[in-house]
Structure 1
Amino acid sequence: MIAQFAEERIMDKPLLVSHVKKRYKNKIAVDDISFSTNPFECVALLGANGAGKTSTLKMIHGANTISSGKIEVMGFDVKKDLSTAKKNVGIVSQEDLLDLSLNIYENLIAHGLCYGIKKAVLKSRTEELLKFVDLYDVKFKEIGELSGGMRRRLILARALLNQPKLIILDEPTTGLDIQSRHLIWDKLLELKKQGVSILLTSHYMDEVENLADRILIVVAGKIIAEGTKDTLLKQYRKKTLEEVFLELTTKVKGEIDV
């Protein structure tokens, strides 16, 4: 298995966000949000640009400070024990930050060494992950030769090197063709079946529908609705998730603007 859970922590919530706020000077980007994720589950944060999604993700993996509230990853407090919390997180960000001077294989090895993974273990894990994301046969290709889909799969493999319990995906398939998107979705669904907890942001409704077990709709830093696709459709009497999203975000935005 790509993800291996320690038995003593398997019952912990992979992610627990409690009354979290993020302030930038006079602006509140994240406003008292609370949610959690479970093993074998994908939770999607759905919101327009500027809704507070990326600020939330950055606080979870320590790229942003938490103004108030508490975030725990596998029971470890991000404020008090960030280094341990980060060991349980894999990140697929919008920026790939791949080293153009290294090939596919070397990029993974270099990243794994930063985690302090022993060389023998790292080599085995790298080859396993390259097979998992269907890049093993091209593992010596230079980064500049890769298609967008191949780069995104490499970033996913990189995010899995530390065998994380939680994977954060920030717009993971933006700009990819439909075949590449579906290939990445298939890999993410495999990870979920193995017990990995996934936190996803995406502007693609079909992506959210394919991957997410629960959906949190975020407007102006607040979670204004939460549920499965079916419960949201039933609650708001709509035929599509897009219709639910448009109704809620337009209504709340109008109230805020007033």
Structure 2
Amino acid sequence: MKPILEVSHLSKKYGSFTAVNDISFQLQRNRCIALLGTNGAGKTTTMKMIYAAASITRGRITVDGFDVKKSPSNTKRALGIVSQEDLLDGSLTVYENMIAHGLCYDIPKRELKKRTQNLLTFAGLANYDDKQISDLSGGMRRRLVLARALLNHPKVIILDEPTTGLDIQSRHVIWKKLDQLKSEGVSLLLTSHYMDEVQRLADQVLIIHRGKILASGAPDTLPAKYGYQSLEEAFLALTDFHEEDDHIVQALS
């Protein structure tokens, strides 16, 4: 089966600095790939190139068969974005935030209202449609961002730290919603610093360090593949945790 997302020999440079260095991977339909790496490893930069928010220095990305460089509008229509910052408009209600976002996709008004109502129900926010954003808890805000990302019926959802700062109950609610989306044929590309989240959601894990993919595999088999006992141990060892930790200790002493 042809992958819904294909990243081939992708690189990104900012002057002399290489943020992403020749990475390749494929995401199949109704699957989840997690990009696991420290801050600055290149995860968010990779995602931004996929949804055309950052230019590509070298390489190729296709989404649903469309080349990101040649057809950015078509690729954006196949994507839903859940970024680290929710970017919700505090001057609008929950319902109005959904409508305003949907207008960016030229969805007919009647259809947009129907999708908004259905997605607010899906996210457990149907009774909060007239609430201001400031009235929502952190978990509700993240569920609203997820609902908003689904308005254009995306085939791939980009999830950049989707549950950061949430309590465990809110995280489980988000996870169940993502499981439901996968069962309906949606593919997920995830970044997270939570090992339990990666193990819970991902079918494949890519450990990225300094812009390169160092390890790849299913979360339950990757550790043994590279000679480690757990995913956390593999991640810490492969990303030079001890060397960086010594540097931090010296700086604080």
**Within the alignment, does 1:35 sit opposite 2:25 as a pair?**
yes
Task: Supply the distance in 2 between the matched residues of 1:159 and 1:166 (Cα, whole angstroms).
Answer: 10
- In structure 1, what is the Cα distance between the partners aligned to 2:236 and 2:41? 14
Q: Residue 198 in 1 paired to residue 188 in 2?
A: yes
Residues 51/252 of structure 1: CA separation in 2 closer, same or farther (3 Å cut): farther
Cα offset for 1:231? 1.8
Q: Give the secondary structure class of the aligned counterpart of 1:98.
A: coil
Quote the residue 2:142 is aligned against. 152
- Matches for 1:89-104 after TM superposition, within 5 Å: 89-104=79-94
The alpha carbon displacement at 1:113 in A equals: 1.0
Per-residue CA shift, 1:112-146, capped at 9, x if unaligned?
A: 01110001111111111001110001111110111
Report if the CA contact (8 A) 2:6-2:63 is conserved.
Answer: yes
| SS in structure 1 of the partner of residue 12 of structure 2 | strand
Judged with a 3 Å threshold, the aligned counterparts in structure 2 of structure 1 residues 106 and 30 are, in CA distance, closer, same or farther, namely same
Q: Which amino acid aligns with 2:217?
A: G
Q: Given the superposition, is the C-alpha separation of residues 35 and 133 from structure 1 closer, same or farther in structure 2, using an over 3 Å criterion?
A: same
Deviation of 1:26 (Å): 0.6
Distance 1:129 1:237, change over 3 A: same
Q: Deviations over 1:195-235 (max 9, x none)?
A: 10100000000000000000000011000100001221221
Contact 2:9-2:60 within 8 A present in 1 as well = yes
Shift in alpha-carbon separation, 1:39–1:252, aligned structure 2, 3 A: farther
Residue 189 (structure 1) aligned with residue 195 (structure 2): no
Long gaps (5+) in structure 2: 245-253
> Would you say 1:85 and 2:71 are equivalent positions?
no
Q: CA deviation at 1:238?
A: 2.9
1:4-83 matches, within 5 Å, as 11-83=1-73
Structure 1 stretches of 4+ moved >6 Å: 251-254
Identify the match of residue 206 of structure 2 among 216, 233, 236.
Answer: 216
Instruction: Name the CA shift for 1:136/1:251 in 2 (closer, same or farther; >3 Å).
Output: closer
- Cα 1:253–1:159 change in 2 (3 A) is farther
What are the ranges of 5 or more consecutive residues in structure 1 without an aligned counterpart? 1-10
* Residue of structure 2 equivalent to 1:3: none
Query: RMSD of aligned C-alpha atoms?
Result: 1.5
Aligned equivalent of 1:239: 229
How many positions carry a matched residue from both structures? Answer: 245
Alignment partner for residue 143 of structure 1, among 116, 130, 133? 133
3-state DSSP of counterpart to 2:190: strand
Q: Partner of 1:168: helix, strand, or coil?
A: strand
Q: Give the SS at the match of 2:239.
A: helix
SS in 2 for 1:230: coil
The alpha carbon displacement at 1:253 in A equals 7.3
Write the distance in 2 (CA, Å) between the matches of 1:237 and 1:22.
31
Q: Which residue of 1 aligns with 2:250?
A: none
Q: Which residue of 1 aligns with 2:249?
A: none
Letter in 2 for 1:203: H
The 10-residue stretch of structure 1 (156-165 or 226-235) with the greater mean CA deviation from structure 2: 226-235
Equivalent in the alignment of 1:166: 156
The answer (yes or no) to whether the contact 2:195–2:232 under 8 Å persists in 1 is yes
How far apart are 1:239 and its partner, in Å?
A: 2.9
More off after superposition, 130-139 vs 245-254: 245-254
Asked whether the equivalents of residues 219 and 253 of structure 1 are also in contact (C-alpha less than 8 Å), the reply is no
Query: Counterpart of 1:228?
Result: 218
Q: What TM-score, normalized by structure 2, do the two folds share? A: 0.94
Q: For residues 176 and 192 of structure 2, what CA distance do their matches in structure 1 show?
A: 16
